[in-house]
């Protein structure tokens, strides 16, 4: 585990928990944490963010935290105080960032940085950049499918229908919420939990394939938690059921594009995710 990276991700999480988050803001937070998590060189990642209009001021704050982690000797007796100070220092600029940025814009920024990094790797390995190849042959860098018309003409039945997908998601969640209600009064049907866990996993994979990151993640967390509840690895309590229900609430809000404050539910799903990860680690 990269402790510096994990420290920064947790600072971002705590800072976001102090802000009112609607569906768009949740997606931005998730995209940011995912981007940081996949970065092998934190200092380079922050330097790249500083060069963007969207993240420049927020990246300066991240840089201050990273400088502390890199240059200072960590005192584990006071690290909690430092963490609180650092997460608090992000709140003001994070709030401005979330007010002004949208998921599409943020995704474009991250994709551009990833593309630049990939090009740099290719230059070092091959001596030729992607842009150089484009100049030599403008068609070469385009997806292969563009050169194979037979692959682009998919049957209508194979095409992704967002309305049908949304309908399937909402139908499953309505049925699952009824099951959660039964679980609250002690009626647990293991077969139903298994059946709907598989449905949620299928929906998670489909959402992931079409870049619905938060919706996918909430499905995965719910499916894992639901199965662990069935197997009595999670405590069979009303609190656990509420943590599971928080995943459903966020999914519905995102699917229906509800502009509501989801901060509490985000905190609950993060609690559930930590419990799930702890169980997984204990079984390794």
pLDDT at 179: 94
pLDDT at 52: 93
Using the 8-state DSSP alphabet, how is residue 154 labeled?
-
Does the domain spanning 163-283 belong to CATH 3.40.50.10540? no
pLDDT at 75: 64
pLDDT at 243: 96
- Whose structure tokens read 């510096």? 4
**Is the CB of residue 63 less than 8 Å from the CB of residue 50?**
yes
**Is the CB of residue 29 less than 8 Å from the CB of residue 98?**
yes
pTM of the model: 0.61
**Is the CB of residue 45 less than 8 Å from the CB of residue 36?**
yes
Q: In the numeric block, which tokens belong to residue 270? A: 């993060």
Q: What is the mean pLDDT of each run of 10 residues along the chain (284 residues)?
A: 85 90 88 91 93 94 92 70 91 94 92 76 48 34 35 49 92 95 89 94 92 91 95 92 96 88 90 93 83
CB atoms within 10 A of CB 277: 12
**Is the CB of residue 18 less than 8 Å from the CB of residue 91?**
yes
Q: Where are the alpha helices (DSSP H) in the chain?
A: 3-17, 23-37, 42-50, 56-71, 79-100, 103-126, 130-136, 149-152, 162-184, 190-209, 213-230, 238-255, 263-283
Residues of the chain with CATH 1.20.120.160: 163-283
Q: In the numeric block, which tokens belong to residue 195? A: 């059946």
Q: b/e per residue, 174-212, with b = 16+ CB within 10 A?
A: eebeebbeebeeeeeeeebbeebbebbbebbebbeeeeb
Q: Tell me the backbone φ, ψ of residue 142, rounded to 5 degrees.
A: -80, 155
Q: In the numeric block, which tokens belong to residue 21? A: 């988050």
Angstrom distances, CA of residue 220 to CA of 8, 65, 136, 197, 233: 23, 31, 44, 9, 17
Using the 8-state DSSP alphabet, how is residue 156 labeled?
G
pLDDT at 162: 87
CB atoms within 10 A of CB 248: 22
């Amino acid at each position: 585990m990269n402790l510096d990276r994990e420290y920064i991700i947790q600072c971002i999480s705590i800072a976001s928990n102090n802000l009112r988050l609607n569906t768009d803001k949740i997606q931005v937070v998730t995209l940011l944490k995912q981007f940081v998590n996949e970065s092998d060189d934190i200092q380079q990642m922050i330097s790249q963010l500083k060069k963007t209009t969207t993240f420049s001021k927020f990246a300066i704050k991240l840089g201050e935290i990273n400088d502390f982690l890199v240059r200072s000797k960590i005192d584990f007796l006071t690290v909690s105080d430092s963490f609180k100070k650092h997460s608090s220092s992000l709140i003001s600029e994070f709030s401005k960032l979330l007010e002004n940025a949208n998921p599409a814009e943020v995704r474009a920024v991250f994709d551009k940085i990833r593309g630049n990094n990939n090009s740099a790797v290719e230059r070092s390995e091959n001596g030729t950049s992607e842009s150089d190849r484009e100049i030599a042959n403008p068609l070469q860098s385009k997806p292969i499918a563009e050169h194979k018309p037979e692959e682009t003409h998919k049957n209508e039945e194979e095409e992704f229908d967002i309305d049908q997908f949304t309908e399937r998601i909402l139908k499953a969640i309505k049925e699952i919420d009824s099951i959660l209600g039964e679980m609250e009064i002690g009626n647990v049907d293991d077969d139903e939990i298994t059946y709907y866990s598989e449905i949620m996993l299928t929906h998670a994979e489909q959402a992931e394939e079409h870049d619905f990151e938060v919706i996918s993640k909430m499905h995965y967390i719910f499916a894992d938690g639901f199965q662990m509840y069935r197997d009595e690895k999670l405590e069979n309590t009303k609190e656990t059921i509420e943590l599971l229900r928080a995943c459903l609430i966020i999914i519905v809000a995102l699917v229906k594009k509800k502009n509501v404050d989801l901060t509490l539910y985000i905190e609950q799903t993060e609690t559930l995710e930590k419990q799930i990860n702890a169980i997984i680690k204990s079984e390794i």
